Copies of this chain bind each other. A is one copy, B any other.
């Protein structure tokens, strides 16, 4: 039942299969596409990826991915530097920016505390956060409402509160458009606890 595939197809498929979420079948499909594409196009693809990786910098202030020493948000005069929103990853910055509801600056932790996986405070960008709090008036903990997100938020907020800076957490509740019927118990409990007067 060994599969017959030509050597170039196997080589290209092996590379694609290294990417997360790309299974064997998809890798073969992509490999097949690459082998049928003009060589210049494949060159452009390969160098494009490599250039993107090489041009990547980490913002010295918020630790987000950027192409300079400082990111666009940190260097913008229109952003409120006294409010810092702490998130797990650059994807979260992108999500909050998309919502349009935030005018402060960010801090990207590049991970969450996870003792089981050997990720302690030294493995994520907590030290860098502490070092930039001198002018901060509020720190919003915007990690996900998961076990690790909660643990990271409470660990960091304890340290920041000791410095006398206000720390807040994203609100819990029902997501917009959700059906009450299908909400899980914890979400419903929290939505009740955090109910607002209308």
Contacts and interface: CB of A to CB of B under 8 A. Distances in A.
Given A6-B90, A35-B53, A12 B97 contact: no
Interface string A58-72: 000000111100011
Given A46-B49, A65-B9, A1 B100 contact: yes
Interface in A51-98: 51-57, 64-67, 71-73, 89-91, 93-94, 97-98
A122 interface: no
Given A46-B47, A50-B43, A55 B15 contact: no
B64 A6 contact: yes
Chain A contact-residue range equals: 35 or more
Given A1-B98, A20-B29, A49 B8 contact: no
Contact of A97 (B3, B44, B98): B3
A6 B90 CA distance: 9
Contact of A15 (B29, B37, B52): B52
Contacts of A66: 6-8
A21 interface: yes
Interface of A: 1-9, 11-12, 14-16, 18-22, 26, 28-35, 37, 39, 42-57, 64-67, 71-73, 89-91, 93-94, 97-98, 100
